[in-house]
Amino acid sequence: MPKIRSAKVIVASPARNFVTLKIETEDGVHGVGDATLNGRELAVASYLGDHVIPCLIGREAHRIEDIWQYLYRGAYWRRGPVTMSAIAAVDMALWDIKGKIAGLPLYQLLGGASRDGVMVYCHANGTTIEEAVAAGRAYMDQGYKAVRLQAGVPGLKSTYGVPKGKQPYEPADADIPTENLWSTEKYMRSVPALFEAGRDKLGWDVHLLHDAHHRLTPIEAGRLGKDLEPFRLFWLEDPVPAENQESFRLIRRHTTTPLAVGEVFNTIWDCKQLIEEQLIDYIRATVVHAGGITHLRRIASLADLYNVRTGCHGATDLSPIAMAAALHFNLAVPNFGIQEHMSHAPLTETVFPHTYSYAGGYMHPGDKPGLGVDIDEAEAAKHPYKRAYLPVNRLEDGTLYNW
Ligand code: GCO
Ligand code: MG
């Protein structure tokens, strides 16, 4: 059985910051894992470098479950985004190694393909409704079957999901967090008009999605969901912060708009009540922030019992390694729903060469053994880490609010 010989953390900023773990066995097989936690990158790098790597050396690389339990239970301090992203990176790298040794793409080790391709949704953004809808049309012309619509809110200078200039949307944009202003009243008025125009111009043969980014109260979310019912959304994402899972009961009482939650979740415990009480329709936990393939499979199995489908987070702050891992998982998991897809910058693609591909609304992980993705260390070294924070939000009276 191959033993782990070495492991190292690579922090680099090819277009944005990424944290990568690279594990190598005594036989010289290596695997890679994504450990990026947007705006808190170095905390995970230190967790891995100072506390995890010393415990990995000499362990059998094939014992993925045992190593997962060792890092989760063995640390005494459980859960949390830093811990779970670090465990996830180890888990991804070990699955990558196992696949390479087996000579099989990861999805084959997970039970094989349950579908031909992974349906993805893209981001159509615009400062106005017209711009957002036109962006949606352009994506549909590229074959996308599902489009997330986000538009600027009249009266607010900036809005989640809408780029500031001509550059692609990237929220982690400042050395110290940018401060944005938020008004729920203005936002609530603008969203139904966006989807009315969306259905009018894009038709009914496309799935439309929207992200409220944790900014509503439960009763506001109920009202927005109700207002959007005529436009038959695929999902309304993160209507409220989900620390209080019970609050979704109130939303459910008022609307049949499907709900998607969980991109900030770290473990099965964060989703347990939402899934068991069927308070959501899609679970957005991801391979990088929710403990890797090993733990995400457990979450998906629980969800399957309650007709909840997967809808993994896939913003550009998840590296191509996480994207590759998600695509293998999505191809195999029985209760797959949809996968988020935001194209990475060309520079990111250069540093992380990969076999996954997009065609006609679907993605496929490719058939190279393991994850089918790697890091070009020499290229990565040319782009040093640069501190970057996500913005914070304040209400118009100055009160700090959810971003
Ligand atoms: C999404 C997310 C992202 C997050 C980002 C934070 O649905 O894609 O909400 O846009 O804001 O991943 O790091
Ligand atoms: Mg989101």
Same domain, 280 and 341: yes
Mutate to test the pocket of ligand 1, among 213, 287, 288 (most ligand atoms within 8 A of CB): 213
The reported pLDDT for the residue numbered 219 is 98
The residue among 215, 247, 269 whose CA lies nearest residue 80 is 269
The parent domain of residue 267 ranges over 109-368
The 10s digit of each residue's pLDDT in 320-364 is 999 999 999 999 999 999 999 999 999 999 999 999 999 999 999
Distance (angstroms) between ligand 2 centre and the Cα of 31 equals 28
- pLDDT confidence bin for 163, thresholds 50/70/90: confident
Q: Tens of pLDDT along 282-298?
A: 999 999 999 999 999 99
Asked if 73 and 208 sit in the same domain, the reply is no
Q: Which atom of ligand 1 is nearest to the CA of 340?
A: 8
Q: Is residue 383 in some structural domain?
A: no
Question: For this structure, is 213 an active site residue?
Answer: yes
Within this chain, do residues 226 and 166 fall inside the same structural domain, yes or no?
Answer: yes
Ligand 1 center–CA 233 separation, angstroms:
19
For ligand 1, atom 13, name the residue with the nearest CA.
38
Do 235 and 143 have their domain in common?
Answer: yes
**Which among 321, 307, 263 has a CA at the least distance from the CA of 94?**
321
Same domain, 162 and 203: yes
Q: Is 24:93 a contact under the CB 8 Å cutoff?
A: no
My answer on whether 119 and 241 are in the same domain is: yes
Residue whose CA lies nearest to ligand 1 atom number 9: 213
| Tens-place pLDDT, residues 164-215 | 877 888 899 899 999 999 999 999 999 999 999 999 999 999 999 999 999 9
- Residue 51 has a pLDDT of 98
* Residue with the two structure tokens 């962006």: 135
Q: For residue 203, what are the CA distances in angstroms to 54, 136, 198?
A: 56, 11, 7
What are the residues facing 185 on neighbouring strands?
A: none
Which of 105, 121, 154 is the last residue before a domain boundary?
105
| Cα 307 to Cα 312: distance, rounded to the nearest angstrom | 16
Give the atom of ligand 1 at the shortest distance from the alpha carbon of 403.
11
Residues 237, 258, single domain; the answer is yes
Q: Is residue 400 part of a domain?
A: no
CATH number, domain with residue 304: 3.20.20.120
Which residues sit opposite 33 in a β-bridge? 21
- Where does a domain end: 105, 128, 157? 105
pLDDT digits 0-9 by tens, 130-154:
999 999 999 999 999 999 999 999 9
Q: What percent of the chain has pLDDT over 90?
A: 97
Residue whose structure tokens are 């693609």: 349
* Shared-domain flag, residues 145 and 252: yes
Least confident among 24-28, 93-97, 155-159, 364-368: 155-159
Q: At residue 237, what are phi and psi to the nearest 5 degrees? A: -100, 145
For residue 254, what pLDDT is reported? 98
Kindly give the interhelix angle for 292-305 and 320-332, rounded to the nearest 10 degrees. 40
- Is 144 within a domain? yes
Q: Is the dihedral of CA 394, 397, 398, 400 positive or negative?
A: negative
DSSP 350-372: HHS-B--EEETTEEE--SSSBTS
| Number of independent structural domains in the chain | 2
Nearest Cα residue to atom 8 of ligand 1: 315
Contact 31, 371 (CB under 8 A): yes
Residue 362 forms part of a structural domain: yes
CB 91 near ligand 1, within 6 Å:
no
Residues 146, 34 share a domain: no
What pLDDT score was predicted for residue 167?
Answer: 81
Q: Output the CA 58–ligand 1 centroid distance in Å.
A: 37
Mean pLDDT for the stretch of residues 59-84: 98
| 221 lies in the same domain as 82 | no
Active site residue 160: yes
Does residue 168 share a domain with residue 281? yes
Residue 381's Cβ-count burial label (10 Å; 0-12, 13-18, 19+) is exposed
